[in-house]
Structures are given as structure tokens and as C-alpha cells.
């Protein structure tokens, strides 16, 4: 079940990335919109579900939102310094950190891995295959300096995944209700955090409401859908790293789409595609799904 929702997350993320390719948002405006617009999309859904009563849920959701906001800033700085290609080729390594962190937090899962060593070996090989293939797909130069600089970003990304998995334990009568409340609370926190930073930098609120930004704000509808699918995947998975690994494959679908569009436009294939890495990725995905049954 987790794999189905993780796959849907990957596909929705790919759709969002494709639509966002031509949307010209400044980074500071983009992350504010990503917070408040996503919360706005989730808001109507809350009226159909009971309010979450556990204070721990709100604490985790708010902390997760604050970590996400801080991680956004670090990611943007890394992109500016090392380039998006290099960053995106290193970030998938956080899947391994998520796997290790969850094993420390849930020692019983180590016992389960030890009881089925062959299956566990295939899980580790599959995760490694996904990480390696996604990283190689970018064809960017991997540098020690960039890796060290991105280490905090990866660790925070893994922490976000851990919180995402942990918060799903507070599902009461409705699992979907919990998903929508988590989207609303975390996204509102992200939006508020970045809004404070935006104002502290001397920016005016009127800059947020340019007509061009408002016209393009529809692309953010994909984020609450993606977050909901990811929440459901996290609820059903035994280890959040499985979900994180499958979600990384959204790159593959974006590549396929861009190749198709390029071929339609120019009647010949101009974009090179490393088929061996695509094959490794697909084989690794299938292995992971089968090994975690």
C-alpha cells in the first residue's frame, strides 16, 4: 500500500516540477506562496473532519514546518553556490540517513531486518540503487566541498521525513483528516516563518500580490495533493526511507516528459538520456517494493 501512495507522490511531484519550469517566482516569494497557498488549498477540507485534539500533533507539525523553512533557506544558498545540478545529485543521499535514523529510533525494525537477512540485503541494495541512479542521472560533478556543505541540509531533510512518519501515529477516526490537518498546520508555519524573514529584509507586502504571481499561483495545487499522498505512504510504510527513495524518482518522469516534448517540437531527440541509470532506477524500485512486502 505504501508503494502505491509513494508512486502517486512521485508522479504528482513530477507534474508540479514540469508546470513550475516556466513559472517565474523569485525565491523569497516562491517559498511564501508555497506555504500560504498550500494551506489555503487544504483549508476547505478541514471542515469535513474533526479537529485533532492531541497537542503533540501540533507541536510536531509546527516544529516540522520551522525545520522545513530553515532547510529551504539553506537549500537556496547551496543552489546559488554550487548549482542546482550538483545539489540535486547529492541530496538523494539523505535517503540513507533517513534509513539509519529510523533504525535508531525504532530498534525493533533492526530485529525484523536480522530475522530476514536476505530480504534486508535486497532492501539495502534497492535503496542504494535508487540513490546512485538518481545521483548519476544528473551528470553533475560530485565534490567533497559540496557534500560537506549539504550535509546539514540532508540531515534536516531526513529529520523532516522522520517527523512526517511520526506524526501519522496521531491518526484518530480519519486518516485523511489527519493528512489535511498536517498539510494545513505545517504549510501555515512555513509561510509565516518565511513571511517574517521577508519583512525583516525590508520587503513590502505589496510585492507579494503582483498580478503575475497571482496568475501562476495555481501550480501550487499539486503540493497539497503530493503532501497528502506522501502522508498516506508514510502511514503505511515500515521505514520512511522507502517512501523518500520512491519520491526521488520524480526526476525520471520529468526527464521522460522533457524528452517527449523535445522530440515533438524538433522531430528529433536532442536530449541525451542515460538509459542504464533509468534501468537501474526501475529495477531498484521494483526490488524495493517486492522486498518490503
Sequence-distant (≥ 6) Cβ neighbours of residue 86 within 8 angstroms: 138, 140, 141, 142, 143, 146
Task: Domain of residue 64: give its range.
Answer: 2-291
Domains of the chain: total: 1
Give the pLDDT confidence score for residue 99 in this predicted structure. 94
pTM of the full predicted structure?
Answer: 0.85
Mean pLDDT over 81-102 rounds to 83
Mean pLDDT over 186-195 rounds to 90
Q: How far apart are CA 183 and CA 194, in angstroms?
A: 16
Give the pLDDT confidence score for residue 213 in this predicted structure. 72
Please say if the pLDDT value at position 33 is more than 70.
yes
Mean pLDDT over 71-84 rounds to 77
Q: At what angle do helices 222-236 and 27-46 cross, to 10 degrees?
A: 70
Q: Scanning the structure block, which residue is given the C-alpha cell 543552489?
A: 79
Please say if the pLDDT value at position 182 is more than 60.
yes
Please say if the pLDDT value at position 24 is more than 70.
no
Confidence band (pLDDT; 50, 70, 90) for 52? confident
* The three grid cell numbers given for residue 84, joined into one nine-digit string: 542546482
The residue among 142 and 195 whose pLDDT is bigger is 195
Give the pLDDT confidence score for residue 288 in this predicted structure. 92
Please say if the pLDDT value at position 289 is more than 60.
yes
Give the pLDDT confidence score for residue 119 in this predicted structure. 92
Q: Are 53 and 179 in contact (CB under 8 A)?
A: no
Nearest to 237 by CA among 4, 14, 65: 4
The residue among 267 and 196 whose pLDDT is bigger is 196
pLDDT tens for residues 247-271?
A: 988 877 777 776 666 656 655 554 5
Mean pLDDT over 66-70 rounds to 89
Q: What values do phi and psi take at 249, rounded to 5?
A: -75, 0
pLDDT averaged over the chain? Answer: 83
Give the pLDDT confidence score for residue 138 in this predicted structure. 60
Q: How far apart are CA 76 and CA 103, in angstroms?
A: 30
Confidence band (pLDDT; 50, 70, 90) for 128? very high
CA atoms within 13 A on the CB side of 291: 22
Q: Are 217 and 33 in contact (CB under 8 A)?
A: yes
Confidence band (pLDDT; 50, 70, 90) for 31? confident
Confidence band (pLDDT; 50, 70, 90) for 118? very high
Amino acid at each position: 500500500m505504501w508503494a502505491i501512495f509513494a508512486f502517486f507522490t512521485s508522479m504528482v511531484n513530477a507534474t508540479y516540477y514540469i508546470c513550475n519550469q516556466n513559472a517565474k517566482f523569485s525565491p523569497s516569494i516562491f517559498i511564501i506562496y508555497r506555504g500560504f497557498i498550500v494551506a489555503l488549498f487544504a483549508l476547505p477540507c478541514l471542515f469535513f473532519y474533526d479537529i485533532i485534539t492531541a497537542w503533540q500533533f501540533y507541536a510536531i507539525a509546527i516544529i516540522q514546518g520551522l525545520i522545513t523553512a530553515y532547510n529551504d533557506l539553506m537549500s537556496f544558498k547551496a543552489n546559488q553556490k554550487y548549482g542546482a545540478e550538483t545539489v540535486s545529485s547529492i541530496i538523494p543521499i539523505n535517503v540513507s540517513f533517513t534509513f539509519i535514523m529510523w533504525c535508531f529510533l525504532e530498534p525493533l525494525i533492526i530485529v525484523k531486518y536480522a530475522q530476514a537477512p536476505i530480504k534486508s540485503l535486497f532492501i539495502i541494495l534497492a535503496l542504494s540503487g535508487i540513490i546512485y541512479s538518481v545521483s548519476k542521472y544528473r551528470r553533475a560533478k560530485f565534490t567533497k566541498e559540496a557534500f560537506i556543505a549539504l550535509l546539514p541540509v540532508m540531515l534536516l531533510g531526513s529529520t523532516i521525513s522522520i517527523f512526517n512518519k511520526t506524526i501519522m501515529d496521531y491518526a484518530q477516526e480519519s486518516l485523511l483528516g489527519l493528512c489535511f490537518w498536517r498539510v494545513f498546520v505545517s504549510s501555515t508555519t512555513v509561510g509565516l516563518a518565511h513571511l517574517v524573514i521577508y519583512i525583516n529584509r525590508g520587503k513590502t507586502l505589496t510585492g507579494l500580490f503582483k498580478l503575475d504571481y497571482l496568475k501562476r499561483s495555481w501550480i501550487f495545487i499539486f503540493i497539497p495533493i503530493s503532501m497528502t499522498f506522501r502522508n498516506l505512504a508514510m502511514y503505511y510504510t515500515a521505514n520512511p526511507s522507502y517512501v523518500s527513495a520512491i519520491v526521488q524518482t520524480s526526476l525520471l518522469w520529468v526527464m521522460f516528459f522533457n524528452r517527449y516534448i523535445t522530440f515533438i517540437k524538433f522531430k528529433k531527440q536532442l536530449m541525451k538520456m542515460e538509459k542504464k541509470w533509468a534501468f537501474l532506477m526501475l529495477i531498484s524500485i521494483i526490488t524495493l517494493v517486492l522486498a518490503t512486502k
